[in-house]
Structure 1
Amino acid sequence: MTARPRTKFRKLDGLLLLDKPRGLSSNQALQRVRHLFRAEKAGHTGSLDPLATGLLPVCFGEATKIAGGLLGARKAYDTVARLGIVTDTDDAEGQPLRERPVPALRIPAIDAALRALTGHILQRPPIYSALKRGGEPLYAKARRGEVVEVDERPVDVHAFELQSAADLLDDLQGVPPQLRLHVECGSGTYVRALVRDLGEALGCGAHVAELRRLWVDPFREPRMWTLEELNALAGRGERSLLACLLPLEHGMASWPPVDLDAAQAHRLGRGQAVDGPFHPPGSVAVYGPGGRALGLGQVEDGRLRPQRLFSWACAPAPAAG
């Protein structure tokens, strides 16, 4: 049996909007596209469960420096809540814990339960999650059978809306009682936990049967690429594959912009603060001459300090003459 040739990785900067398939972890999907693009460095901005599909922004090279900011971005999902069954993972990948009859439900009662889970709320994350305690993910403790206590924490749910209850209200033969829902939420919110809590509010329990991430700020109308599409493009040649990448500037639209002249950009690139006054206070996207992105900066008391600069921002200024 012939061994597969080792991938020759290279420096590559940019963003890929991947349509993650069901059945792969976010890291497995990341490694597949990393090898396909032969990128030395890659990271993703916010995990999707293996059951979930949809938008997974992948950062290559210098783009990994803005990944942390994209993690905290607002996100939107469509999900299907299966009523009447509670699982240990709060989704269809887990083991059933309890099964209860689904009571007669009407739209006003469902909408009221959804409204109660909207806004700035306290949420208890699933015990099968990547949250760490003592340096170890909670799911590792749960799989060993340890009792895992998870504290509630504040999250922002901007929208939790009913798209369709036809599968429930029409009492279709052979179709499980389920609700089709739309969610828009902030960082750290678990859709699985929202669906679990909705099921409890409706008196029957529930778990996530399907989940698809639609968008992540600032990519509100993303052109996503499936693994099948990327493999087909790779077969056409390098240029076809690289055409899928977005420049780093596309990922910086969530931060307020600050423009610098050549002298200011050179000073910032040497790690020094630049006098302003600059605004607004907080993290900003810094651009140099010609609109080239230099990275992220921090504005404090009108002065701009470097935060996470791209490698080219730190290059020495060209000699005069």
Structure 2
Amino acid sequence: MDYVKYFNFNGILLLDKPKGITSNCALQQVKRIFFAKKVGYTGSLDPLATGMLPILFGNATKFSRYLTNSIKKYHVIVKLGETTVTGDLSGEILKKRSVCLNIHNVKKILKTFVGEIKQTPPMFSALKYKGIPLYKYARLGISVPRKNRNLIIYQLNFIQLIDNFLEFTIVCSKGTYIRSLVDDVGKKLKCGAHVIYLCRLQVGLYVSSQLINLTKLYFIENQNINQTHRFYLFNMLSTFLLPISSFFLEYPIVKLTSQDADNFKKKLCIYLVNCFKIGLVQVTTGKKNIFLGIGRLSALGLLTPECILLS
């Protein structure tokens, strides 16, 4: 392993995080397999949760905030009639109640959560109060003040209600805690509820068909490739990475001349004649539309660099 200490990957791996490990644990396993120097992730998933965890390599980490702000889609299964300390099946049961519901009423209640809502983050979360994660207070039985968040639930689609189990999908804005939402649903249904299954299906434009699981990565790692073929391993692992520009496929493209591209990379503002786009844009250059970064265009045609790939 001394022959190659690390590889300089740049791009995004859409990891299918397994149940039972933290997001950081998943990150560390990927980092080791890829011999990667600079790695991060965006959009933490609880140990209970599975599904899409975007792992960012190298220069992709510069753009993490754009992915964090993307909409998310989840598949959720809820147990009705029980509330727990954590809001999911990992916590101690606080209260049990009988469940007497029909599908019509459940659908009606779910519809009330679609649109702009306010949500209080759960105590069992990584949000910090006075520099300390909330879950550390929660483990000591201490409740601290939490500010309500304004969120948007774009879709909440009922799938089925079988006995005490409710299944649905949800498309929501950043910062949405599914455990808190389920707790609020349980309160409206007057029976209580907690999450027993949670899978993230989508982040922004990325979909579940693009996911890569750890089993596949372990298989490649265990091919007993010798030291002289480490760069063959590099090429194999590279095929799993999506380009950084894939973050921004929904953004308009502004193509710069070579001179303007040099100025953009120097973080200089550029005035573009006859450019009618407004807001965030992809900035590219050259015949192959080489991705340079993200800029913001004003109504007057002034392009301001926001995040540059190489600077």
- Structure 2 counterpart of 1:297, from 288, 295, 298: 295
Once the 2 structures are TM-superposed, how far is the Cα of residue 5 of structure 1 from its aligned partner?
Answer: 7.7
Change (3 A) 1:6 1:192: farther
Which residue is 1:100 aligned to? 97
Which residue is 1:123 aligned to? 119
Q: Deviations over 1:256-302 (max 9, x none)?
A: 32211111101111121111144533332211212111112222342
Which residue is 1:242 aligned to? 238
Q: Tell me if the contact between 2:296 and 2:306 (Cα under 8 Å) persists in the aligned partners.
A: yes
Q: Tell me if the contact between 2:11 and 2:58 (Cα under 8 Å) persists in the aligned partners.
A: yes
Q: Deviations over 1:86-110 (max 9, x none)?
A: 11111111121111111x2111100
Which residue is 2:135 aligned to? 139
Q: Tell me if the contact between 2:123 and 2:143 (Cα under 8 Å) persists in the aligned partners.
A: no
Whether 1:30 aligns to 2:27 is: yes
Mean alpha-carbon deviation: is it higher for 108-117 or for 280-289? 280-289
- Structure 2 counterpart of 1:183, from 170, 179, 184: 170
Which residue is 1:272 aligned to? 268
Query: 1:162 is matched by which residue type in structure 2?
Result: F
- Structure 2 counterpart of 1:61, from 58, 63, 66: 58
Distance in 1, matches of 2:84 and 2:4, equals 40
Which residue is 2:195 aligned to? 208
Q: Tell me if the contact between 1:234 and 1:240 (Cα under 8 Å) persists in the aligned partners.
A: no
Which residue is 2:247 aligned to? 251
Q: Tell me if the contact between 2:52 and 2:208 (Cα under 8 Å) persists in the aligned partners.
A: no
Please state which structure has a larger fraction of its residues in strand.
2
Change (3 A) 1:36 1:85: same
Which residue is 1:155 aligned to? 151
Structure 1: segments with no counterpart, 5+ residues:
169-176, 315-321
Change (3 A) 1:269 1:137: same
TM-score by length of 1: 0.88
Which residue is 2:259 aligned to? 263
Whether 1:85 aligns to 2:82 is: yes
Distance in 2, matches of 1:249 and 1:200, equals 42
Query: 1:261 is matched by which residue type in structure 2?
Result: T
Q: Tell me if the contact between 1:66 and 1:252 (Cα under 8 Å) persists in the aligned partners.
A: no
Query: 2:306 is matched by which residue type in structure 1?
Result: Q
Which residue is 2:230 aligned to? none
Which secondary structure does the structure 2 equivalent of 1:101 belong to? coil
Distance in 2, matches of 1:21 and 1:221, equals 14
Number of residues paired by the alignment? 299
Distance in 1, matches of 2:261 and 2:152, equals 36
Distance in 1, matches of 2:121 and 2:2, equals 42
Distance in 1, matches of 2:135 and 2:214, equals 27
Q: Tell me if the contact between 1:15 and 1:60 (Cα under 8 Å) persists in the aligned partners.
A: yes
Q: Tell me if the contact between 1:234 and 1:241 (Cα under 8 Å) persists in the aligned partners.
A: no
Structure 1 consecutive aligned stretches of length 4 or more whose deviation exceeds 4 Å: 4-7
Structure 2: segments with no counterpart, 5+ residues:
226-232
Change (3 A) 1:263 1:149: same
CA RMSD of aligned residues (A): 1.8
Whether 1:226 aligns to 2:213 is: yes
Q: Deviations over 1:173-214 (max 9, x none)?
A: xxxx11111111011111111111111111110000000011
Which secondary structure does the structure 2 equivalent of 1:231 belong to? helix
